[in-house]
Amino acid sequence: MYSGILVLDKPTGISSGEYIRKLKNFLTTEKVGHAGTLDPLATGLLIACLGQMTRFSDYLADLSKSYEVEILLGSQTNTGDIDGEEIKKTNFIPSENDIKKVIKNFIGEINQIPPIYSALKYKGKPFYKYAREGIDIKIEPRKILIHQINFISFYENILKLEITCGKGAYIRVLAEDISKKAGSLGTVVNLRRIKSAGFGIDNSIIIDELNHDNFKEKIITPGDALQRLDDIQCRPEIIEKITKGQKVEMKLTSEDKFLRLFDKKKNFVGIIENCDGFIKPKRLLTID
């Protein structure tokens, strides 16, 4: 049975769920999921989680991601991207210098109102279903973190940026908000995720490249998949206590809240929580 991740390069025109379901051709009873959804329009890095790694997918999804986005200025659609219907238009196009000044306002912790065309849920029902039914719902703003915005180019009303952000940020909304702050309108025409959870697009694969001979060698093991978390190795007696659900007194040098736990043979055991002088199990591999 396989457990680990595959770092995939998702093509445009297909949902994240549909794309990873193609992996079922190589699996038997393994569960399959993903860490961080990409819209059908978007391309790029999609982390597929196999087997027991599906239990750790949220730890990957919580880590920072980087995108390259192309924004058409002067137009706005109902979905925030080129797949939607144009609802507003303007002839005003800001200068490159004005755009560079505006970008600075969006770095750090900011409020963002999630888009109505999203998979977030209200009363158990995805936002996009309300949108398709023409039902208005109140969407509250959320705090998100934008680590960095790099200006790449601005040509023929197409603004290209590289954005590094934390969990929960919607690049479509950010594109609209940047455009609005600059006095114009904007809609995403291309979106590509280039980094996620410490993995880069250069090391990704496409599912069509996989076959039954190379599938296993492409899988990154759970311990390595969570590489952005600090790690700790423990003696057998400590491992035994942790696997029994007990907490252990231990002062760690790492200030991270969650760490990878390995035994002395460097076998990955799971994730532990750092609790001010104690460690305790958070999420462990199950033993078959």
Which residue is associated with the tokens 């809609």? 187
| Residue 212 CB coordination number (10 Å) | 8
| Residue 77 CB coordination number (10 Å) | 21
Asked whether the beta carbons of 160 and 70 are under 8 A apart, the reply is yes
State how far the Cα of 237 lies from the Cα of 241, in Å rounded to an integer. Answer: 6
Nearest partner of 227 among 260, 195, 194, 268, judged by Cα: 260
SS3 217: helix
- Note if 39 is an active site residue: yes
The catalytic residue among 39, 98, 208, 256 is: 39
Asked whether the beta carbons of 260 and 229 are under 8 A apart, the reply is yes
State how far the Cα of 33 lies from the Cα of 8, in Å rounded to an integer. Answer: 12
**Would you name the residues annotated as active-site residues?**
39
